[in-house]
Amino acid sequence: MLDKFGSIIIIGGLYGLVLWGALAYWALKDAQSRTENPTFHFFALGVNLLFPLLGLLVYVLVRPSVTLAEYRSLEMEAEALSHTASEENMRPCPACGREIEHDFVLCPYCQTRFAKRCPDCHKAVRLGWRLCPYCAATLEVAVPRAAAGQSRR
């Protein structure tokens, strides 16, 4: 009877030991994925070794909320967004070369008209296009005589 009780304590103790080590190891790995600061890694390991379970709770409360991988992807996303706003939305005017926005239908600087609005979806389409590439609406084509003569040659 006492032997059985003893073995239960040993098995329970072993489980506890494995759990204790695993939690401390997990906390260390988690800390490494969140910061490169070695002091914080030491804290994560130490608090979980000294105070099993309670230390884990404390660690989860104070750890950085974003992992390094998440932080990098957030940074990249912000960079991509600022690119779209500043550069990718702009293009040089085909006539005077000044930077204008992509969906402008005419250049506000030299007043050259190089596109028009689709009557259906109101996106900017080129003057020579017969169909709207966005909604497939038929467009009225007003090809300038000079350009038409050039394409026939």
Q: How many CB atoms lie within 10 A of CB 14?
A: 10
Q: How far is the CB of 138 from Zn ion (least distance, A)?
A: 10
How far apart, in Å, do the first and last CA atoms of the chain sit? 107
**Is residue 44 a contact residue for Zn ion (CB under 5 A)?**
no
3-class SS letters over 20-81: HHHHHHHHHHHHHHHCCCHHHHHHHHHHHHHCCCHHHHHHHHHCCCCCHHHHHHHHHHHHHH
| Minimum CB–partner distance for residue 149 and Zn ion (Å) | 25
Q: Report the DSSP beta bridge partners of residue 113.
A: 106
Cα gap 117→99, rounded to integer Å: 20
Residues in the interface with Zn ion (CB under 5 A) total: 13
**How near is the Cβ of 71 to Zn ion at its closest, in Å?**
41
Choose one: 3-11, 14-22, 63-71, 99-107; the region binding Zn ion (CB under 5 A).
99-107
Separation between Cα atoms, residue 76 and residue 84, nearest integer Å: 12
Q: Which of 9, 14, 80, 96 binds Zn ion (CB under 5 A)?
A: 96
CB of 128 to Zn ion, least distance (A): 15
Chain positions 122 to 151 lying near Zn ion, rule: CB under 5 A, are: 132, 134-135, 137
Q: Give, as ranges, the residues between 105 and 124 that touch Zn ion (CB under 5 A).
A: 107, 109-110, 118, 120-121
Contact between 39 and 64 under an 8 Å Cβ cutoff? The reply is no
Residues 65-94 that bind Zn ion (CB under 5 A): 93
The binding site for Zn ion (CB under 5 A) comprises 93, 95-96, 107, 109-110, 118, 120-121, 132, 134-135, 137
